[in-house]
Amino acid sequence: MTTITIFRDQNKDCVGFEMEGHAGFGYAGNDIVCAAISVLAINTCNSVEKLTHDRFGHEEDEKRGYLYFMLTENPSSEAKLLLNSMVLGLTQIEEQYGAPGRFALQKKYLKLKFKEV
């Protein structure tokens, strides 16, 4: 299962995230849930880097499915939009693949958590 912690500041603005684990929906290279999660997260990191002037720290370990991304200053409106868009997409994936028993799934593949930092 992939667990993602969304970091929010005191204003409830998303300022970063940490994800770890592989979804386990399918075999490596064929796991559509893991692929969808990865695309959203990596595209968000790349978009913040290329489309904003926000500074951030990050760390990754592909083997264990780990990615950490944290803005290091107050987020711009562009960074907020990009991060909120990622959270929207992840929330929709969690609704479909996160709850055991939904759509005949027997296991949970994604868990989102929120933490104030």
Please provide the DSSP assignment of 11-64 as one string: T--EEEEEEES---SSSTT--HHHHHHHHHHHHHHHHHHHH----EEEEEETTT
Confidence of residue 96 (pLDDT cuts 50, 70, 90): confident
Q: Give the residue extent of every domain in the chain.
A: 2-116
Question: Quick one: pLDDT at residue 108?
Answer: 85
Separation CA 13–CA 16 (nearest Å): 9
Taking only the tens place, the pLDDT of each residue in 17-53 is: 999 998 888 887 788 999 999 999 999 999 999 999 9
Mean pLDDT for the chain? Answer: 90
Q: Give the distance from CA 93 to its chain's centroid.
A: 10
Domain 2-116 has CATH 1.10.10.10: no
